[in-house]
Amino acid sequence: MLTLIVFGLLLSGCLAWFADNKVLLGIKLQAKWLSLLAVLVLSCCFLLLVYCSEKNFQQLQLFARVPWIRSFNIDYALALDQLSITLIILTFFLAVICILVSWQEIQKKTGFYYFNLLATFAGILGVFCAVDMFLFFFFWEVMLLPMTAIIAVWGHEKRYFAAVKFFIFTQVSSLLMLVAIIAMAYIHQQQTGDLSFYYQDWLMLDIKLDVAQYLMLGFFIAFAVKLPSVPVHSWLPDAHTQAPTAGSVLLAGVLLKTGAYGLIRFVIFLFPQASENFAPIAVTLAVISIIYGAKMAFAQNDFKRLVAYSSISHMGFVMLAIFSFNEIAYQGAIVTMVAHGLSSAALFALAGIIYQRVHSRNLTDMGGFWQSAPRMGGFGLAFAAAAFGLPGLANFVGEFLSLVGAFQVFPIMVIFAALGLIGSAIYAMVLFQNTFQGVPSKLVEDLSLREICICSSLLVSLIILGLYPNILLRYSFGALL
């Protein structure tokens, strides 16, 4: 069932591509409807799989392990625990949002577009499920190609530059991870006599600290690029700015979370001592990312570029929490990952909605939209409040727990990191005021029913997780201990 869900997305993408605009039984098939139906059906299948399973997901539970490439002892192995289940549910939810925001925006090569979109989500689901490290790397690469195509084909004016930059950054860092994966398999052969790429076999290895530090860096760099963290962050603002709306939602909402997931699952668990020794450097990079991202966000005039830099700042809190080796901070990291996925997706969706009306991302071309579009303004205010961590919304819980937990380990660093909260309030209010307040630059149409559904679902999710964070905390507790 888990295999069918993962590859069902890829097959659904192929179906949407080849069946787009074909007539069946007198009905004209459309890729967007086929994609939406596929995602809804597969998400329901996944929820039923988890709900009906009698497995205890506080630990990794194996769902499939069969030989794949026998000569190298590479297996097709999928497993789930509470961490991966949480992120897969977020992925399915944002997949629906991506399809809805693309409903009218994508007018050319629609079949091929939805194929790439669903193929990217298939790769992401594989990343969250794979426990054979070669299979994990395979799915990691599956994410890369269709996402590059989405930026390059359906992006804005500098899309080719942004797509190539995204590809190079991700590919080079992925090759470092591949070297580390092969080295780990070789070490397993030295210690046991057999090659193995199986994650839980690697947990049993006894690796010398000086070797573990280099191997850990191979994984860390790949995941830090995806997170992204300063100084390997520069691909993100360009990719976000030039990508279509769904591409930005996908990048910020889910793709960045694969980097955080990799840090937790592989860096911390496979190399605990090396990670602890590296923690001061990682935390320093996290604090720099928080402050730098907030400062650069404040300096932007481009709506999407501002939100992109804010993502660098918010994901800095995740790295800070992960490398604090503190239970409260770990829980804060999980909540922040989900909350940022929702709030950044909301802001990018709003950016796309505005762009369709005024055909500009420049804040100087906006202003006074509240008068002609009050519903849009209300959602804009709520999403800006979520971005700067208003109590009652999910971001506040995640960042508060991250700082409280990290303060017990790195008090001085956390004091500086807290400046990022002040910076986020400044750039979020600047974004809102320049867009919705002041003298109206032009009259814009208010939200349609489809757009209200998109914004409402994201806002309701942020409120529910902000008021009832135990929905996430009770699951993240077991997964991170």
What is the average per-residue pLDDT within 313-339? 91
Q: Are 340 and 428 in contact (CB under 8 A)?
A: no
% residues pLDDT > 70 (the chain): 98
Rounded to 10 deg, the angle between the 159-192 and 235-242 helix axes is 130
The Cα-based distances of 317 to 82, 366, 400 in angstroms read: 21, 31, 10
- The domain locations on the chain are 271-481
Lowest mean pLDDT segment, chosen from 50-54, 150-154, 318-322, 338-342: 50-54
Residue with tokens 């990191």: 417
Average pLDDT, the chain: 89
Place of tokens 């994966």: 181
> What is the pLDDT confidence band of residue 359, given thresholds at 50, 70 and 90?
confident
Cα angle value 262/219/478 (rounded, 5°): 30
What is d(CA 353, CA 245) in angstroms, rounded to the nearest whole number?
Answer: 9
Mean pLDDT (whole number) for 341-360: 91
- What is the pTM assigned to this prediction? 0.93
Task: Name the more confident of 441 and 369.
Answer: 369
**Which residue type does 53 have?**
S
Question: Terminus-to-terminus CA distance in the chain, angstroms?
Answer: 28
- Give the mean model confidence (pLDDT) for residues 446-461: 92
Residue 23 has pLDDT above 80, yes or no: no
Q: According to the model, what pLDDT value does residue 26 have?
A: 67
Band (pLDDT 50/70/90 cuts) for residue 480 is very low
Q: Among 219, 212, 65, 193, which Cα is nearest to 137's? A: 219
* Lowest mean per-residue pLDDT among 145-149, 393-397, 439-443: 439-443
Q: What is the mean pLDDT of residues 118-133?
A: 93
**Tell me: the pLDDT tens digits for 61-101?**
889 889 998 888 899 999 998 889 999 999 999 999 999 99
